[in-house]
Structure 1
């Protein structure tokens, strides 16, 4: 009976020689327990990508099962944090000695966070799409975090036009007559008084940041809080009437084009002193069939491009 099974990746010659930047697997189903500062360890269901480079020009291929097994250990025996990701990347490299000196892992998942209401004291779950990438390049470790934050944006132009219509209606209603305080108050509280409202739309800020390679923990909650506090109008989870009214007030007091939102986020990312960042603001227009978009980067040499 034959006991040694053939390993074509080790023994067969390459059909054509040449180095390859990345070889591996994508869309791997991978549940794991994720750790981040300020949160209890949470179970998430991720789609994973795992790669090494192939710098040995005449090698037939890599050992993909070794990548998969390292990820499986991460899934079943560990929690995902900077330390365990670094260990997995080291395993990728050590299991491909002579073939690879670069490795990367990418996870895409949704992180559920408890978010408080604006005024009522209620709370509910909101899920935030996360992309987390860890990479090792000739011994140098790096981490990259991408996150989507959904919010409401009210158009400043539309608000100005609505105010003008309300002013015109006021003049038409009360022109050349003594103003009665109670009558004006009642009129303002009627549909005749507020004859126009500005348009707003659900909007999404896509943010990508380069993390310090020496981090010992992730801190997604702090980043979410920073972005939502800057935007002022994140979409809500639990909502009572007082919360809805407060949300309407916040929208009215924080009018913004996509350019305004992009500059607000750019300023707060600068203040956090990230090594590099990329952001895209998407306002999914309710007036137009197209979207309004703004993009910005930190602008460092060899960094993220717009």
Structure 2
């Protein structure tokens, strides 16, 4: 009985002819087991987008259920890695013979990682927003990875102004006599001594990179570690007092404007020799009601635009 059910996408005429760049589905609930180098396979809950192009001008539409079922196989019968994603894309196109020669999958999720504290040896969970986009275009496979890294940025200008106020307070306090070592230590440890502190803010680096089409595994942990090691002040998970003190020290030793952070990230992405990259630095100001932003790209012909 089911074999006689009508398939409108195959049989009904299009109301109007014309090619379409992408047709498919968005916000598909897709739990899956994610694989990446140096990480145990981990269950994540993703939102997926699945598309094919429609280059047959008089076709009524595509077969949405075929895209969904290929994703469901990815979710329930496989682990997600570059090879299984490529298989799903092949399935998208092979199930739309004569209709499509391009396919795209976007997987958006948060990757939970165990992260160690700075000094105390404690550990806690941190989640990293991650988007993987894979595409086949006339037989050519490509991968794109987008990642957010959150860190603290302390303003160099604010730090200089705070130091000036401390100097002025020192002169006012000890202009009549030279303090003893004990008196100096006591003053430096008081609120009178540290009369001002620089402002800092939570900041986010948005990074997008093109991956080699021949990759057989993702390497998310290495990219996260590379970015955090360069920035020096990633936000922490588990924190004891010694960790908080070390975090304060790292902020004081790594003052940065958004321009500084952008140049740091651009340099490490250049060293990693990605085919292309795009980055946006967002400093969510504590002084202003607006944000400080810097954007950079690799700058190749036909590549990402700022």
What are the superposed Cα offsets for residues 23-65 of structure 1, whole Å, 9 maximum, x if unpaired?
A: 0000000000000000000000000000000000000000000
1:148 matched to 2:148: yes
Measured in 2, the distance between the counterparts of 1:77 and 1:255 equals: 48
C-alpha displacement of 1:3: 5.2
C-alpha displacement of 1:141: 0.3
- TM-score, scaled to structure 1: 0.99
Measured in 1, the distance between the counterparts of 2:107 and 2:82 equals: 13
Measured in 2, the distance between the counterparts of 1:96 and 1:271 equals: 41
Match of 1:22 in 2: 22
With over 3 angstroms needed to count, the CA separation of the structure-2 counterparts of 1:21 and 1:206, relative to structure 1, is same
Helix, strand or coil: the match of 2:260?
A: helix
C-alpha displacement of 1:178: 2.2
With over 3 angstroms needed to count, the CA separation of the structure-2 counterparts of 1:89 and 1:2, relative to structure 1, is closer
Match of 2:87 in 1: 87
What are the superposed Cα offsets for residues 105-146 of structure 1, whole Å, 9 maximum, x if unpaired?
A: 000000001111001111111000000001000110000000
Match of 2:290 in 1: 290
Match of 1:117 in 2: 117
Match of 1:208 in 2: 208
Match of 2:198 in 1: 198
With over 3 angstroms needed to count, the CA separation of the structure-2 counterparts of 1:66 and 1:172, relative to structure 1, is same
Measured in 2, the distance between the counterparts of 1:300 and 1:104 equals: 23
Question: What does 1:41-190 correspond to in 2, within 5 Å?
Answer: 41-190=41-190
Gaps of 5+ in 1: none
Measured in 1, the distance between the counterparts of 2:83 and 2:254 equals: 40
Measured in 1, the distance between the counterparts of 2:289 and 2:184 equals: 38
C-alpha displacement of 1:176: 3.1
Gaps of 5+ in 2: none
Measured in 2, the distance between the counterparts of 1:2 and 1:246 equals: 67
- TM-score, scaled to structure 2: 0.99
With over 3 angstroms needed to count, the CA separation of the structure-2 counterparts of 1:178 and 1:24, relative to structure 1, is same
Match of 1:35 in 2: 35
Helix, strand or coil: the match of 1:238?
A: coil
Paired residue total:
306
C-alpha displacement of 1:2: 8.2
Match of 2:247 in 1: 247
Measured in 2, the distance between the counterparts of 1:204 and 1:3 equals: 53
Measured in 1, the distance between the counterparts of 2:153 and 2:5 equals: 61
Measured in 1, the distance between the counterparts of 2:97 and 2:57 equals: 14
With over 3 angstroms needed to count, the CA separation of the structure-2 counterparts of 1:2 and 1:105, relative to structure 1, is closer
Measured in 1, the distance between the counterparts of 2:218 and 2:261 equals: 25
